[in-house]
Amino acid sequence: MTRQEILSELKKVISPYTTNKELLESIDDNTDLIADLKINSANLVDIIIDAEAKYDIEIDYDSADKMVNVGNCIDVISEKLGQKQ
């Protein structure tokens, strides 16, 4: 999967957890999940669980800890997808 394909799918995963749907449409690698999208830390765990299910991957604690902005989320998902092949 390309970064753009992952981003497109990631938006769908994040959408239920943010109230700012307009900002969600224009997110990029630097968008912070907590500061910009106003996602609380409990919902970050839900996003990680949803991403694991969506991409059929397992995200370990260290990788999950990196998932604070969109770019890092894409990096972690891409890395885990690469490990599956």
Give the model confidence (pLDDT) of 21-37 as tens digits. Answer: 888 889 999 999 999 99
Structure tokens, 23 = 């900002």
pLDDT digits (tens, 9 = 90+) for 37-74: 999 989 999 999 999 999 999 999 999 999 999 999 99
24/11 Cα distance (integer angstroms)? 7
Give me the CATH topology for the region 3-84.
Answer: 1.10.1200
The domain limits of the chain are 3-84
pTM of this structure: 0.91
How would you classify residue 28: left for phi > 0, otherwise alpha for psi between -120 and 50, otherwise beta?
beta
